[in-house]
């Protein structure tokens, strides 16, 4: 794939290196030449210095042949504009933007952009880790709106069915691992203490389950 990375800070440099290592053709654009010092010495993609919003800069970067673009500068508004231009002017559908400030999220959403919000996502992950060490996030979609959680079944849920475990929580069980062997669960699957259950849920759904489990364990 031909991919453009706009912004060569720590995130942009690491992203460019990862993409290059996977065999993609990567062009990195930054307004400051010294930013390219952040790139791994093994990086062999293109680098372009200049204002990405200047006339023809995106064309010089190869946007007309690009399969995807990542806007990861230190400016939320610039990332939003780059993403919007890539989608609306150059018809690039595979656009990912970074948004540090949560209050700017509505702008990205209005443009229909895929957005990674490290501040919101990081705070949510830390909250989850502090709240319950027996319930971990193992995969996050989008900015954490839907996640996959790993739950170690406590003694209080031994002998219960999956349906009983998840009643009223809006969580979906996607696997049960017992003695190292995984299986697809049904609503009637019987749980055993020590089983590892992977659940797909929103934050609200997992909080409802966590609250109920904590209440039962304390009762």
92-131 residue pLDDT tens = 989 999 888 877 777 777 777 877 877 776 676 666 556 6
- Whether 216 has a pLDDT exceeding 70, the answer reads no
Angle between helices 118-131 and 203-218 (to 10 degrees): 10
- Alpha-carbon distance of 102 to 119, in angstroms, equals 7
- Alpha-carbon distance of 82 to 214, in angstroms, equals 45
Of 164, 154, 166, 219, the closest CA to residue 192 belongs to: 154
97 touches 108 (CB < 8 A): yes
Domain boundary at 98, 117, 136, which? 117
Domain boundary at 94, 117, 140, which? 117
Q: Domain span at residue 34?
A: 2-117
Are residues 181 and 143 both part of a single domain? Answer: yes
Are residues 109 and 8 both part of a single domain? Answer: yes
Domain boundary at 117, 134, 161, which? 117
149 touches 199 (CB < 8 A): yes
Are residues 19 and 34 both part of a single domain? Answer: yes
DSSP states of 158-180 as a string? TT-BHHHHHTTS--EEEEEEETT
Total domain count, the chain: 2
Are residues 168 and 190 both part of a single domain? Answer: yes
Of 154, 144, 149, the closest CA to residue 124 belongs to: 144
pLDDT band at 138; cut points 50, 70, 90 = confident
- Whether 219 has a pLDDT exceeding 50, the answer reads no
Residue with tokens 């609250």: 211
Q: Is the pTM of this model over 0.85?
A: no
Q: Which region among 22-26, 135-139, 148-152, 199-203 has the lowest average model confidence (pLDDT)?
A: 135-139
User: What does the mean pLDDT of the chain come to?
Assistant: 87
- The domain that contains 87 carries what CATH number? 3.40.50.720
């Amino acid at each position: 794939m031909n991919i453009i990375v706009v912004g060569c800070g720590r995130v942009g440099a690491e992203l460019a290196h990862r993409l290059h290592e996977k065999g993609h053709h990567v062009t990195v654009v930054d307004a400051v030449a010294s930013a390219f010092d952040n790139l791994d010495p093994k990086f062999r993609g293109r680098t372009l210095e200049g204002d990405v919003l200047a006339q023809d800069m995106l064309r010089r970067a190869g946007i007309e042949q690009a399969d995807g673009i990542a806007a990861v500068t230190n400016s939320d508004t610039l990332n939003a504009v780059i993403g919007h231009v890539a989608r609306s002017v150059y018809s690039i559908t595979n656009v990912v933007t970074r948004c540090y400030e949560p209050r700017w999220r509505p702008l990205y959403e209005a443009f229909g952009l895929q957005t990674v919000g490290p501040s919101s996502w990081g705070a949510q992950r830390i909250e989850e880790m502090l709240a319950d060490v027996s319930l971990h996030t193992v995969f996050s979609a989008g900015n954490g709106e839907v996640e996959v959680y790993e739950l170690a079944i406590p003694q209080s849920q031994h002998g219960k069915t999956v349906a009983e475990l998840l009643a009223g929580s809006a969580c979906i069980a996607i696997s049960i691992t017992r003695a190292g062997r995984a299986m697809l669960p049904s609503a009637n699957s019987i749980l055993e203490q020590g089983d590892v259950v992977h659940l797909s849920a929103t934050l609200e759904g997992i909080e409802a389950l966590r609250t109920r489990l904590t209440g039962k364990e304390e009762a």
